[in-house]
Structure 1
Amino acid sequence: MDAPHATDDVVHVVVVHWNQPVRLRATLAALADQGVAVRALVVDNGSAAAELDAARAVVASAPIDARLFEAGTNTGFGPGANIGLRVWLAEGVGEWAAVVPHDALPDPGALAALIAMAAAQHHVGLACADVGDGETPVVDPYFGGMTVPARVAAGWEPADYPHGTLLLARRACLEAIGLFDERYFAYCEEADLGVRARAAGWQVGLARGVRVTNPTMRSGSPVVDYLMHRNTLLLVREHSGAYHAAIRLIIAVFQLVRGVVQPSSRAWLFSATGRLAGIVDHLRGRYGPPPPWLLREASGPEPAVG
């Protein structure tokens, strides 16, 4: 069914969904109370049949203008978001678009506040809301995307990249730098986008105090460790160069070996299988979706919306 024609005062929101229709319903309900008119495009990343049927019903009964695009396969977070962003760019309407995962819960009025704060700064291309962790996203030349303690308690704070829990993008910025690099699948794609935006002269930042929560984030999956290591190596190589990438590779191998022989040294997220596969695939130049054999071993991750 054709959706109503968008107008400049309507904010396009891409919602990346995978197998969580109940959480999707809560997210769409939250988007109805954002202080701006919202037009949502839900991109379903190959959900199972029952969950897809439920998602169709959720979108059809949403309290906002919402459409569903069925990708038919698990494309990943960045590629899934790109589907919706391409629709927005092609329609040619609206200065800002937002991207959220299927379980993001922005506080009432958060989207309007985020847009107002970004618009008040000079030449902002990308921005994000505050997840409440007191941290600011930065990109280290050796370690890639990471966070450091916040420098301000409230208001606008420059950042190296926007996190993806509630990401705001300006049309002119995406038209200039392109969309998410689909090699990343999930994790580190926001860091890559932020680095490219800043290199092109755009400002990137975080709206401290404009809150969004992501209550169902999970950790501990071999798939997540695989993606984090493979993609960090890619990010460092692409934006810091071969020397930094070689040092990061040595560090990754050292941490892997130490974690195997000395379990007490392991980080909060550690999977020897996932890390080794991520390192090997980076060296092979294999990016995009995780290998099927690793997905079969995984339990409980949500890489499609991570």
Structure 2
Amino acid sequence: MAGHGVVTVIIVHWNQPERCARTIDRFQHQGVSTRILVVDNGSEPPLLERLRAVVASSVHDVELVELGANRGFGPGANAGLQRWLAEGEGKWVALAPHDALPHDGTLCRLIAAAESRERAGLACADVGDGHVPVVDPYFGGMTVPAPRGAAADGWESVDYPHGTLLIARRACLEEIGLFDERYFAYCEEADLGLRARAAGWEVGLVRGARVTNPTMRSGSPAVDYLMHRNTLLLVREHSGRYHAFIRFCIALWQLARGVVQPSSRVFVFSAKGRAAGMIDFLRGRYGPPPAGLLGQAGAAR
């Protein structure tokens, strides 16, 4: 895309070097010149060595930033975003987890759609599920079916950008700040989107700019922990304590029902993880989940 130079793409990685290699390759077919910044969230030594080999053997412009510990998706992204902001080059930055696979030209479509809107601050690619991201005052970040008659291509205003692949405008991040690191992972993009909208920036999903994520439906006790703790935090921060109290009561009822009625459980259900997340919300404990819960599925995303 003429006039935009090299676009920095930040990829947050944890323990999946082969998948990360595929993602790096996919970002070379985007209709724009890209520079890849891989932020490693403390991968296990053998897997980190394989990631180093991937980066060293790449014929593309790829750089590895090693954090040395699993700080979570939001803090890992922030490490890359802080570096990009400090360098002072480029109007747009892209962000994705290590297993996002953008279709050819997706990044070019995203930037073109956002550039056509003066106050576009955040935008995300289309995962192809026919849904749009919204924030409910009681249930937090979620997706709902797109309105009937919605365009198949182009910009669609949403409450927040999903984290499978998003772009951010430099001026927007300079005004509203980066991800709230209390979330560690999950709900941080909903918080960022709400802050952007509150500051007068537009947030959109770009139809026709496709990305797939083959592992986005993974579950673990850590995922259930983070989803519930962070949803309660998001609701309290943006809708108030009354809404958070009602959401807590709903979560408590769902937890009890899931224990006594297994058929009611959703795919991420973990009584241990969910109960711990609710307790930690009450305690004001944020950041990474307890070490006993943190597993493969709950790490980078």
TM-based fold match above 0.5: yes
1:167 aligns to what?
A: 166
1:194 aligns to what?
A: 193
Q: Which residue identity is paired with 1:64?
A: H
1:51 aligns to what?
A: 47
**Two-structure CA RMSD over aligned residues (Å):** 1.2
TM-score normalised according to structure 1 size:
0.94
Which residues of structure 2 form unaligned runs of 5+? none
Match of 1:147 among 135, 143, 146: 143
Encode CA deviations 1:36-83: one digit per residue, 9 max, x unaligned. Answer: 010111000001111111111111222321110000000100000000
Q: Which residue identity is paired with 1:100?
A: A
Secondary structure at the aligned position of 1:305 is classed as: coil
Q: Which residue identity is paired with 2:235?
A: V
1:183 aligns to what?
A: 182
1:292 aligns to what?
A: 291
1:10 aligns to what?
A: 6
Secondary structure at the aligned position of 1:25 is classed as: helix
1:4 aligns to what?
A: none
Does 279-288 or 146-155 show the bigger shift? 146-155
Paired-residue identity, %: 69
| Deviation for aligned residue 1:266 | 1.8
2:262 aligns to what?
A: 263
| Deviation for aligned residue 1:218 | 4.0
Runs of 4+ in 1 over 3 A off after TM superposition: none
| Deviation for aligned residue 1:180 | 0.3
Q: Which residue identity is paired with 2:238?
A: H
2:248 aligns to what?
A: 249
What is the 5 A alignment of 1:1-306? 9-151=5-147, 152=150, 153-295=152-294, 298=295, 300-301=296-297, 303-306=298-301
| Deviation for aligned residue 1:8 | 5.4
CA distance in structure 2 between the aligned counterparts of 1:135 and 1:66, rounded to whole angstroms: 33
| Deviation for aligned residue 1:293 | 1.7
Contact 1:138 1:148 in 2 (8 A): yes
Secondary structure at the aligned position of 1:293 is classed as: coil
Secondary structure at the aligned position of 1:38 is classed as: strand
| Deviation for aligned residue 1:122 | 3.5
Q: Which residue identity is paired with 2:83?
A: V
CA distance in structure 1 between the aligned counterparts of 2:219 and 2:209, rounded to whole angstroms: 28
Q: Which residue identity is paired with 2:255?
A: L
Contact 1:31 1:64 in 2 (8 A): no
Contact 1:29 1:63 in 2 (8 A): no
Secondary structure at the aligned position of 2:292 is classed as: helix
CA distance in structure 2 between the aligned counterparts of 1:18 and 1:78, rounded to whole angstroms: 13
CA distance in structure 2 between the aligned counterparts of 1:36 and 1:8, rounded to whole angstroms: 8
CA distance in structure 1 between the aligned counterparts of 2:111 and 2:28, rounded to whole angstroms: 16
| Deviation for aligned residue 1:166 | 0.6
Secondary structure at the aligned position of 1:294 is classed as: coil
Secondary structure at the aligned position of 2:272 is classed as: helix
CA distance in structure 2 between the aligned counterparts of 1:99 and 1:257, rounded to whole angstroms: 37
CA distance in structure 2 between the aligned counterparts of 1:130 and 1:64, rounded to whole angstroms: 25
Q: Which residue identity is paired with 1:285?
A: G
Tell me the number of residue pairs that the alignment of Structure 1 and Structure 2 aligns: 296
CA distance in structure 2 between the aligned counterparts of 1:117 and 1:62, rounded to whole angstroms: 30
CA distance in structure 2 between the aligned counterparts of 1:229 and 1:123, rounded to whole angstroms: 32
Which residues of structure 1 form unaligned runs of 5+? 1-6
Does 260-269 or 218-227 show the bigger shift? 260-269
